[in-house]
Amino acid sequence: MSKSSATNIPNSLQEHWMPFTSNRDFKDNPRLIIEAKGIYLKDHHGRTHIDASSGLFCNPLGHGRKEITNAVTKQLEQLDYVQPFQQGFGGSFELASKIAKHTPGDLNRIFYTVCGSSAVETAIKIVIAYHKAKGQGQRFRFVGRERAYHGMNIGATSVGGMVNNVKTFASVLMPGVVHMRHTHLPEHKYVRGQPETGAELANDLERIAANLGAENIAACIVEPTAGSTGTLVPPKGYLKRLREICDKHGIILIFDEVITGWGRMGSAFASQEFGVTPDVLTMAKATTNGVVPMGAVAVKEEIYDTVMDASPKGAVELFHGYTYSGIPIAVAAALAVQDIFEKEDIFNRAKKLSPYFLDGLFSLKDLDCVSNIRGYGMMGGIDIKPEDKPGKAGFTCFKKCYEAGVNFKATGDCLILAPAFVCEKKNIDEIFEKLRAGIKNYMKK
């Protein structure tokens, strides 16, 4: 390592236990990012990488937005913290009103959390509180889905369905959780948009209700498009069928929109894009453009009112919350993001850019090591043919692409792309040129 680059890394890499990382591999050959501007990252060797996944799906407005920096700085100078229990400040109420203008249906009661995982955890608790308030406390079961990712808290891990995330912690997970099959069928090869087949998989929920008693099921939780597992787009009619079954049996339908929320599918929320309104909706990531940790849960008025009315006036209605629920710095960032959404017509911009992005995505179909491609809106998944063990091909390919100057999220043997909405067509071209070069270098290994 050169002397100039050495100054950009810490004296020791050993003390930090990194999340979801091959720590030993990383520390042998670290990938340290030292600067981010617009849609570009600079590493500790001085090399530039284009960000093809908006960080972890959380920077759709690009990096280093002055509007957000200025809003956060101003807020810190005026009011850095206020405890969120039994007091508050005006900004959190203003933000809730702005969020409620975008959420589907009457999901206009907003509860703040600190991230996506805690948003899902909060949704689970709200659902239980709601059923108990209605006198249906026997509803304790939750229905998740295979290959789902909902976060890494105990509740979120329990309803998730990614095997490696679950198996180590199986002994401490929530009881009463069952999983539907995922929607990725063998015939779903190189599907651009929603698959034509697979809607009948939603009937898994009906079967579970029949076997375990619909009266015992509190909620069904799904990602409208499963993101972290590799962009599994819902088959046509699938989400609508889930909605029908939930309505039939009084089951709460939760959409986890931590990834798909705020424009990723082309509409403000995927629920609007796919024309199905849940009862509860989680969001995080793009809420602050990834600048400050923040999550939120939007619920129907009827759920909120039921929980409120079950408690006497003056009592705490929901015994739940976080030290950092809706704190000023997070709210300031989120309000600035809301202003950018409006001024730059971000959701329409994403929708208009999507066809060009998908053209580039599917142009990689000719590469021999690619076994499948999926995409919708501004998100896509590229499956790399597996090697001798799961995930090895994807991780090796990711590192080759990083060396070629493109950064993204890889899960198992899938490369996941989710560019910033502020990209121009030339930036999309650059992403796929570098991605092609990186994949070709992987094929030469």
Please name each of the domains of the chain with its CATH number: 3-64+346-444 (3.90.1150.10), 67-343 (3.40.640.10)
Identify residue 170 by its one-letter amino acid code: A
H-helix segments, 145-298: 154-159, 163-167, 203-212, 238-249, 270-273
**For position 2, what pLDDT does the model report?**
41
Cα gap 432→429, rounded to integer Å? 5
- ∠ CA(102), CA(103), CA(105), 5° rounding? 120
Tokens of 312: 């006497």
Alpha-carbon distance values, 306 to 148, 226, 310 (Å): 29, 30, 6
Strand partners, 111: 297
* Crossing angle for the helix pair 425-444 and 392-403, to the nearest 10 degrees: 120
SS3 366: helix
Cα gap 111→123, rounded to integer Å? 9
Cα gap 388→394, rounded to integer Å? 12
Strand partners, 252: 219
Nearest to 52 by CA among 442, 436, 441, 347: 436
33 alpha-carbon distance from chain centroid: 22
Burial class from Cβ neighbours inside 10 Å (0-12, 13-18, 19+) for residue 298 reads buried
Tokens of 416: 């996941």
Cβ–Cβ < 8 Å for 277, 246: no
Tokens of 152: 């890494």
Cα gap 393→406, rounded to integer Å? 17
Supply the pTM of this predicted model. Answer: 0.96
Q: What is the pLDDT of residues 40-98, one digit of tens each?
A: 999 999 999 999 999 999 999 999 999 999 999 999 999 999 999 999 999 999 999 99
Cα gap 27→294, rounded to integer Å? 29
Burial class from Cβ neighbours inside 10 Å (0-12, 13-18, 19+) for residue 36 reads middle
Q: What is the pLDDT of residues 152-171, one digit of tens each?
A: 999 999 999 999 888 899 99
Which backbone phi and psi does 57 adopt, to 5 degrees?
65, 15
Distance in Å from the first CA to the final CA of the chain: 23
Supply the DSSP symbol for 88: -
pLDDT in tens, the chain (445 residues): 344 444 467 889 999 999 999 999 999 999 999 999 999 999 999 999 999 999 999 999 999 999 999 999 999 999 999 999 999 999 999 999 999 999 999 999 999 999 999 999 999 999 999 999 999 999 999 999 999 999 999 999 999 999 988 889 999 999 999 999 999 999 999 999 999 999 999 999 999 999 999 999 999 999 999 999 999 999 999 999 999 999 999 999 999 999 999 999 999 999 999 999 999 999 999 999 999 999 999 999 999 999 999 999 999 999 999 999 999 999 999 999 999 999 999 999 999 999 999 999 999 999 999 999 999 999 999 999 999 899 999 999 999 999 999 999 999 999 999 999 999 999 999 999 999 999 999 999 7
